Amino acid sequence: MISPIDALSTLVALSGVFFLGYYLLVHTNYFVLYLLALTELRESAREREYEPVYQPFGSQFLPGVAVIAPAYNEAETIVDNVRSLLAVKYADKEVIVVNDGSTDETFDRLDAEYDLRPIDAEYPLEIPTEQVRRIYQSAVAEELLVVDKENGGKSDALNAGIWITEQQLFCAIDADSIVDRDGLLEVVQPFLEAPRETVATGGAVWAANGCDIQNGVVQSFAPPSNSLADIQVVEYLRAFYAGRLGLSRLNALIIISGAFGVFRTDIVREIGGYRHDTVTEDLDLVLRIHRHAAEADRDYRVEFVAEPIVWTEVPESVRTLGRQRRRWYRGLVESLVTHRDMIGDRQYGRVGT
Amino acid sequence: MLQLPLPLDAFRLVYWIGIVLTVALAVLGVGIVVRVVRTERDHNRREALKPDLRTGLFDRLRRDAPDWDSWADGLTATERDVLRELLNEHLRLLEGSDRDRLQPLAAALGVDRWAIRTLETDDRYTKLTALGWLALLDHPHDPTLIERTCSEDAALRAAGARVMLEQEYANATEHGIRLLLDDPTESLTAFGLDTLYELTRSLPDSLAGHTRTRHEDWTPTLLVQVLRVLRTAAPMDIDSSLEWIVDQCEHESPAVRAAAIRALADSGWRAELRSRVTVEALTNDRSPAVRTATYQTLGAWRVPEACERLAHAARTERNPRCRLSAVRAFSHNRCHDRLESDLQHEFSRQWNWVAATRRLRETP
């Protein structure tokens, strides 16, 4: 007969073994990932020491990029943020702001600042989104296009831009984020180095809370005064410079942040663009790109680039943070369930295994 | 008391593994922190040296006899290193006589000798840095050395070919083409493409000739890239080069067919060439990319026969995006009024869009 004390001791001992095993497994995994990330970062830093003797902006071989920024009720910040996007250095760039049925003054402020002129005709192609009311071109910034459409959500707005642009690549960016001036050229770099293989790239997201931002340009970085935001600064650094960099080295990167990613336009159109029925459309898109490329038996790469930075405000209250994280984890579970057939399937390479 | 399912030794082992891992991580962490602090201190020290060295550099640059050698000899190792950095920066910015006068400073700092020596190294990144220097310096050297030592990957080949371009060797074009297109399976980087274009833009026939004899081993991607360079370069004089491109319009890869017809966009004034291109087959191609490229080329040719083709293509085209390309190309052409009004009527939605975007572009 086993006494209750003996049974309890055994239970405690067994659970100790379980947790220790779990601890070792998880941390070994992280350790390997960090080592890979360090190697990747070191190589990337060494690669950057060499600056080719040419002017990429003067080259005719730089792929054209459409920067697509969906905007819904962003009246307070839209003018500064569009100014920041227009200031990004890149030779063949088109900025498409998609006004996703805003109910505030987002469109009016854009019109007042950038002198928008309507393209006096109906767009001739079918776009798989909510109705596009009209497309405008700025009279003061030739590369700025504003698409005014009925509200359909972020995915819908991004899809409108993807279907309208004729550029080879598009950069999906949140309208309330700020990109470093050289950021676009840096995030496009893998497309320049391996034009055939590269299908998607993403840069790092940093917390803008505490930064000195003037006219849509980050003048100086300072840690946020809010302790919750401070923790997120460290969390973002770990997630981008350890996790994503390591996974990118393995070609197993399954997410490119919706705040800043560059994709091949034709491939994203082929797979039907962003899905509307998921809360983490960015994660779902990258998973579908992996699926599409692997099933076509294509030699491809989805890369994280360490240098380019996009700045975004992170939540400063527990309530907002909780809401954001619930959305992220719900999206993660949704995507894992949707793409469960990829798990463990060797056809999908390291993403599957 | 019950026996535990695992022997005590196993717990001890796990315990010691934990200790060792923790200590290793702590040592690694401390090491990284020490290194970061040192690097930052070194960086600040170097930055502090820059203003004086920059002033010294410009001061000497203005003198009749800069005497770079004695200046460089009097500097500390760190100062020389920072000066090398400034030299690299200014060789990229300055042009003409100022740039020429700065060149001897590289010799005084020993950069040219280091770069040549470094070409033999196995370290890819150091070799790239050396090639970057050689592209900036007017230091004579043997181009075959670069061909021999810089063919491992696309980035090295592009950097090597750039040196040949910048140094304006007598046979830079031939050497550069050979080096850049050395690996038939690897595509060119954007820098490599730009270098190939700069090497061959005034002599595209040499690139076309090289491609004609070698392209069968190449991947379609590489062939597409070369066709793109040929399209951007000056018009070719040799008919055989153009004939070869015409032949590529029947290549098995749709990407190559599209690139080939695009490469003929500026040669539409040659009636004989136009007659050789199988336009009908291309406008009926299964690939939308090939059809779009064909419409764009027909638009660029600006000849009456292209109008009929484009009008027919717009009527029969099934893909809406391709049809828009056909209408756009048609509107750029000089077509006669009847055909234009017919098309305008049949495809009013596409026509109005093309006209509206053009109007907006032309509005001051």
Q: What are the sequence ranges of the domains in chain B?
A: 105-230, 253-364
Min Cα separation B303/chain A (Å): 26
CA–CA gap between residue B42 and residue B51 (Å, rounded): 16
ipTM of the predicted structure?
0.84
Instruction: Report DSSP state, residue A341.
Output: G
Q: Is the pLDDT of residue B36 over 50?
A: yes
Contacts of B360 in chain A (CB under 8 A): 117, 119-120, 137
Chain A's closest residue to B157, CA to CA, is A52
Residue B65's pLDDT is 85
CA–CA gap between residue B159 and residue B335 (Å, rounded): 47
Min Cα separation A331/chain B (Å): 33
Contacts of A48 in chain B (CB under 8 A): none
DSSP output for A86-98: HHS--SSEEEEEE
CA–CA gap between residue B43 and residue B35 (Å, rounded): 12
Residue A313: CATH number of its domain: 3.90.550.10
pLDDT tens-digit map of B190-239: 999 999 999 998 888 889 888 988 888 899 999 999 999 998 887 776 67
A178, A161 Cβ separation under 8 angstroms? no
Residue A117's pLDDT is 93
Chain B's closest residue to A43, CA to CA, is B125
pLDDT tens-digit map of B4-26: 555 667 778 878 888 998 999 89
- Residue A24 domain flag: no
Residue B335's pLDDT is 72
Neighbours of B238 (CB within 10 A): 13
> What 3-state class would DSSP assign to B250?
coil
Q: Is A45 on the interface with B (CB under 8 A)?
A: no
- Residue A167 domain flag: yes
Q: Is the pLDDT of residue B67 over 60?
A: yes
- Residue A239 domain flag: yes
- Burial, B101: exposed, middle or buried (Cβ in 10 Å; 0-12, 13-18, 19+)? middle
Instruction: Find the distance separating the first CA and the last CA of chain A, reported in whole Å.
Output: 46
- Residue A3 domain flag: no
Contacts of B132 in chain A (CB under 8 A): 50-53
Tell me the pLDDT of chain A (353 aa) as tens digits: 678 888 888 888 888 889 988 988 998 888 899 899 989 988 888 888 888 888 888 888 999 999 999 999 999 889 988 998 999 999 899 999 999 999 999 999 999 999 999 998 989 999 999 999 999 999 999 899 999 999 999 999 999 999 999 999 999 998 788 888 889 999 999 999 998 899 999 999 999 888 888 877 888 888 888 999 999 999 999 889 888 999 999 888 989 988 899 999 999 999 999 999 888 899 999 999 999 999 998 889 999 998 878 898 899 999 999 999 999 999 999 999 999 999 888 888 888 87
Contacts of B195 in chain A (CB under 8 A): 54
Contacts of B324 in chain A (CB under 8 A): 124-125
Neighbours of A224 (CB within 10 A): 19
H/E segment holding residue B222: helix B220-232
A80, A215 Cβ separation under 8 angstroms? yes
Min Cα separation A153/chain B (Å): 25
Q: How many domains does chain A have?
A: 1
Q: Name which of B2, B195, B219 is nearest A10 (Cβ-Cβ).
A: B2
CA–CA gap between residue B358 and residue A154 (Å, rounded): 30
CA–CA gap between residue A61 and residue B194 (Å, rounded): 6
* Cβ <8 Å between A120 and B320: no
Min Cα separation B185/chain A (Å): 11
Residue A251's pLDDT is 87
Q: Structure tokens of A242?
A: 């350890």
A202, A260 Cβ separation under 8 angstroms? yes
Host domain of residue A224 = 57-352
Min Cα separation B135/chain A (Å): 7
Q: What is the pTM of this model?
A: 0.87
Residue B195's pLDDT is 94
Residue A230's pLDDT is 93
DSSP output for A213-281: EETTEEEE----SSHHHHHHHHHHHHIIIIIIHHHHHTT------TTEEEEEHHHHHHTTSS-SS-S-H
Contacts of B160 in chain A (CB under 8 A): none
A158, A291 Cβ separation under 8 angstroms? no
CA–CA gap between residue B53 and residue B43 (Å, rounded): 15
Q: Structure tokens of A184?
A: 């676009």
Chain B's closest residue to A20, CA to CA, is B14
The phi and psi torsions of B135 (rounded to 5 degrees) equal: -70, -25
Residue B1's pLDDT is 47
Strand A169-173, strand A260-264: pairing: antiparallel
Residue B204's pLDDT is 84
Choose from A3, A54, A136 for mutation: most chain B CBs within 10 A.
Answer: A54
- Burial, B120: exposed, middle or buried (Cβ in 10 Å; 0-12, 13-18, 19+)? exposed
Q: Is the pLDDT of residue B35 over 90?
A: yes
> What 3-state class would DSSP assign to B253?
coil
* Cβ <8 Å between A121 and B355: yes
* Cβ <8 Å between A59 and B194: yes
A319, A255 Cβ separation under 8 angstroms? no
